[in-house]
Structure 1
Amino acid sequence: MLTKHDNRHGASSQQIVDNLYKNILCGALKPGERLAEVALAEQFKVSRGPVREALRHLASMGLVTVTPNVGASVRVITQNEARDLYEFRTALESEAAFLAAQRIDDLGKERIARLVAAHADTMSLHPVGAYAPQHGDSDFHSLVAHLSGNALLIKALTQELYPQLVLLRRQHQNVQGRGQVALVEHQRITEAIQTGDAELAALLMRRHLQFSWQALVSQL
């Protein structure tokens, strides 16, 4: 169910983007669900122009599919598209880990150690469960991206790639995570970053994401 919007004068295109973005990533709008312009225009009290603009923006982010003469819907990611996302992610995140190991300071070392320790505590409560993906500052991969200190890498990963990966997880909610195995891999990457071993950090991140992809494919 969509989040309500009570602006009597109608929503702006950006407000529509923000609303749909949140509802897609939280799972309120599911992969394949139709996004009818007329219904959205009525909901947000606007003409179809701002809705169409918002849908085009979300399509450029990889979250919506717009089909001529059919309309818009929440994107369904094919296996080939998922593979492309993971290959792109592996290339960017291995470089992010490399740069993080070169540039990390004492505060960064404390942040990543505290984060991984918190994840270990969470996993200890559910030792046979999946490694639950986190969001924002609580996400291991987002933190590594920020520790890279490269603004273009950070933008490409956190703003362009990660939302699509969240959508992919929403699409395959029955796929089980790797739990303790993923946690151990994160811990090893963390150690390499903290000790400044850039080559090892990049290698471990690459292997971690390749294993993650193999586990996903085996269950699709």
Structure 2
Amino acid sequence: MATPEHSLEDTLGSHITTTLRNAIVCGDIKPGTKLSEPKLAREYHISRGPLREAIRRLESMKLVKYVPREGARVITLDLPQVIEIYHIREALESKAAALAAHNISEDGLNKLKHLLALAEQHMATSGGAYIQADVDIDFHYQVIQSSGNQMLIHLLCEELYYLIRMYRYQSSLQPNRSHNALIEHQQLIMALEQRDEQLAEMIMRKHIVRARQNIEQQILKS
């Protein structure tokens, strides 16, 4: 049975993990930054025990990397790494979409429609600029959650989800790709409503492939 002290440390560890994770993803803590335990302990008014646990959790999320003789540093994502992530997404998220077509609830469908409406509203008011990172990522997150497959949910939402968000905050895509992505999201919702597993899988796969190809074009231009 956990002691009150251990329970408090677990709560503090979870809180500081969330705080640091969001700061890293949004760029408030820059890529390559060394996570100084004394500095962070002072800044967040927390003891070193929960802080070390938080850093270990961030390592498991692949947001922080331990460098020998230097300590923990925030990862720096480069485009080849992002391409690797998108190859993994292509395989796993397409399967998640197929499972979602079978398992998604009416509430899940309504959440997707709401997220799509938010994206459409944002694009209408921004002249076609890229869909807000939170809205677009949460659309995929909702599809994955609706798959009902706990292993897929863990792999995508716990391990890749924050890396993808980190990349999206650091980059912007061209408006024409945003318009195409919006159409593909609409098509996916239709496939989910029709409970068409093969169609949902195909649409999600093509959606992610096109996004990856867009990133590859960036690499060629750089």
TM range (shorter): 0.7 to 0.9
State whether residues 79 and 215 of structure 2, in contact with CA within 8 Å, keep that contact through their aligned partners in structure 1.
Answer: no
Partners of 2:41 and 2:106 lie apart in 1 by 50
Distance 1:56 1:125, change over 3 A: same
- The amino acid of 1:36's aligned partner reads S
User: Aligned partners of 2:29, 2:13: CA distance in 1, in Å?
Assistant: 18
* Cα RMSD, aligned residues only: 2.5
Aligned length: 209
Q: Could you tell me which residue of structure 2 aligns to residue 4 of structure 1?
A: none
* Alpha-carbon distance between aligned partners in 2 of 1:214 and 1:43, rounded to the nearest angstrom: 41
Tell me the residue number matched to 1:83.
83
Aligned to 2:60: 60
SS of the residue 1:24 aligns to = helix
Q: Which amino acid aligns with 1:52?
A: R
**Equivalent-residue separation in structure 1 for 2:121 and 2:172 (angstroms):** 24
Which residue of structure 2 lines up, in the alignment, with residue 192 of structure 1? 191
Secondary structure of 1:73's aligned partner: strand
Note the 1:5-154 alignment, pairs <5 A: 12-45=12-45, 48-135=48-135, 139-154=138-153
Query: What is the CA-CA distance between 1:28 and the residue it aligns to?
Result: 0.9
SS in 1 for 2:65: strand
For residues 66 and 41 of structure 1, the distance between their equivalents in structure 2, rounded to whole angstroms, comes to 18
- Structure 1 CA distance, aligned partners of 2:108 and 2:46? 45
Name the SS of the counterpart of 1:190 in structure 2.
helix
State the match for 1:208 in structure 2. Answer: 207
Q: Deviation digits for residues 46-86 of structure 1, max 9, x if unmatched?
A: 55454333222211111112101012221102333222211
Indicate how the Cα distance of structure 1 residues 97 and 64 shifts in structure 2: closer, same or farther if over 3 A, else same: same
TM-score (norm 1): 0.83
Report the CA distance shift for 1:44/1:132 in structure 2 as closer, same or farther (over 3 A): closer
| Residue aligning to 2:5 | none
Unaligned runs of 5+ in 2: 1-10
